[in-house]
Chain A
């Protein structure tokens, strides 16, 4: 019986993985070959999806991207014993993309069967929780603080300090909430972790619940990820069955359970207070802070809100010790970041590496430049609220503070490449339009300013009073930055201003040329 891996990851499915599984089963049956197909997570080499892996005595050999029409030829080439074929990438672990990484958060993703508790445990799963139970709640929080882990949702707030605030807040109940709203364009790490190693997120939530003395966890997942919801729900059920969740977590006497909730297509619900309102069943209007969710969060109770990646890294930090994590990275950006490389890109995917890697190394060496083969012109880093970074800034190290110093942000770690055909004035317009569509409506600068922004950019596009309208656009950005309650209105100006700063020529195209487009 040969073990074959075909990812269940939504990106692999989008490229035909489900059809491929059926084709392999059919072909194997026709040839009388016995195969066992395991649906793993994705290794993150997304340009190779669907990446089929075959277990051989020498290790796992990969083939990709495989289409159903390739299946017969693969059998002919003896792929079941790792045979040579043009689609072969050799041993997956030896691939340069894999070897250059430092996989901590994603250590198990793509390797194990995501729904197998036994495989999870065989690959170190459970060690973090065991250590936390040994340390006790206070020392567990101390470990998280010492690791230097900062929130991966975008704001970069130290996770340990957040947990301590919640633990110290007097209350009869406390909640653990995981933010899986992942709305930023160019990001998919939360999705990949929840599909590829959901149990690590579950274990992280259990550790958090134990540390802050909370018994209930919610995961708020965006509705644009229907496949993820299925996998994660199955993982919750497997965890319950195995005694990981319930009244007596792994025999510890600690009680904890998790519920999956699905959002409803509002980007702003990724903002933590809007998310809490939504979980409570209300409109996702952002709350004024204070009070912080750590003091008055879900249903008014102290609540930890953490991103999937922050929470999913906790088991590894506990398992390996805070120091191991803190030793990686640069400055105040400790540990690793799962980079998501997307857009017009040759080798797009997930690449986890220590903080500090220069942007140009990521774009040129790792991602191999654009898919179109044309020169890279801009990279939007950190989602729709992140700046467009020009090639002249490619020596910027991937680090929270270094990006902030250039009016940019690393956000959730997404990088979207654009080639030299991009119209930056149009992208600036889209930034404003997106803010107008997704604004929760609470503050005027965000709600009205973004619509004004679109109108103003349209005038610039038509060549009307260009200089005056650029000044007006700058003023609008300023008003939005300083008059908005949350980062949707507050950061929407970043892509616009960066486009204006680094690509001014796109704002000064002759009207005729713009009209001809």
Chain B
């Protein structure tokens, strides 16, 4: 799975440099850092601010604005469960709450063994197959508790 490489300043600077010819490179860089390391630590923020010639505070502002970028690594796998209206019409909210309670997690938290982070997402465009989810970027439709349990078991393997 993506984002597993340990953080490395030199590699991060390479990634930043590789995107500098783009117009407005900040988001592509942040996505590339997430792809490589699974998070965007403070030293990456500092290096990006320097490369883009903006203040570190401004760079922080950008990183923190977007739900996709986070400062700490997540679990080895990420499960995004849709909780938007269409999925709610099929009982997604109740199901997700029961699932989270079973794992003793709140939204955004990671299982203590580091296997799985569970995040909310607001529509995956799979609304004719509600409830839906994404596991490490792979879509799943008509999700029931059995599917969720399998995902957890698979993640822990």
Contact = CB atoms under 8 A, between A and B. Distances in A.
A281 B128 contact: no
Given A261-B27, A278-B27, A343-B86, A266 B128 contact: no
Contacts of B134: 224, 226
A267 B90 contact: no
B142 A281 contact: no
B121 interface: yes
A434 B122 CA distance: 9
A352 interface: no
A183 interface: yes
A238 interface: no
B89 A281 contact: no
B47 to A, nearest CB: 15
A418 B52 CA distance: 48
Interface string A426-446: 110010001001100000000
Contact of B24 (A281, A371, A418, A434): A281
Contacts of B85: 185-186, 343, 380, 384, 416, 427, 430
A265 B120 CA distance: 11
B4 interface: no
A265 B134 CA distance: 14
A187 interface: yes
Interface string B124-157: 1111111010100111111000000000000000
A187 B126 CA distance: 8
Contacts of B65: 266, 283-285
A263 B30 CA distance: 11
Contacts of B25: 281
B127 A343 contact: yes
Contacts of A384: 84-85, 122
A187 B125 contact: yes
Contacts of A265: 66-68, 121
Interface residues of B, number: 44
Interface stretch (A11-19, A143-151, A309-317): A11-19
A10 B139 contact: yes
A317 to B, nearest CB: 25
B67 A187 contact: no
Interface string B101-139: 000000000000000000001111111111010100111
B72 interface: no
A176 to B, nearest CB: 13
A140 to B, nearest CB: 26
A225 B126 CA distance: 10
A345 B126 CA distance: 13
A340 B52 contact: no
A342 B123 CA distance: 12
B31 interface: yes
A264 interface: yes
Contacts of A281: 24-27, 52, 62
Contact of A299 (B23, B30, B67, B138): B23
Interface in B83-97: 84-90, 93
Given A261-B28, A416-B86, A422-B89, A340 B127 contact: yes
Interface string A402-442: 00000000000010111100100011001000100110000
B81 to A, nearest CB: 12
A226 B137 contact: yes
B69 interface: yes
Nearest to A262: B31
Contact of A427 (B22, B27, B28, B88): B88
Considering residues B22, B25, B137, which has the most beta carbons from chain A within 10 angstroms of its beta carbon?
B137
A399 B7 CA distance: 53
A110 interface: no
B61 interface: yes
A188 interface: yes
A191 interface: yes
A214 to B, nearest CB: 13
A432 to B, nearest CB: 13
Contacts of B31: 223, 262, 264
B27 A186 contact: no
B61 A262 contact: no
Contacts of A437: 122
Contact of B125 (A10, A49, A262, A345): A10
A191 B126 CA distance: 10
Nearest to B124: A224
Contact of A262 (B27, B123, B130): B27
A282 B26 contact: yes
Contacts of A340: 127-128
Nearest first, the 10 A-B pairs at minimum CB distance are: A281-B26, A348-B128, A342-B127, A264-B66, A265-B67, A185-B84, A14-B141, A14-B139, A46-B128, A343-B89
15 contacts: A11-B126, A15-B129, A183-B122, A187-B125, A224-B121, A224-B123, A227-B139, A263-B27, A265-B66, A265-B68, A281-B27, A343-B86, A414-B86, A416-B85, A427-B85
Interface of B: 22-28, 30-31, 52, 61-62, 65-69, 80, 84-90, 93, 121-130, 132, 134, 137-142
Given A11-B139, A187-B123, A342-B127, 15 more contacts: A10-B125, A13-B138, A14-B126, A15-B129, A264-B30, A264-B31, A266-B67, A279-B24, A280-B23, A342-B86, A343-B85, A344-B90, A416-B86, A419-B89, A427-B85
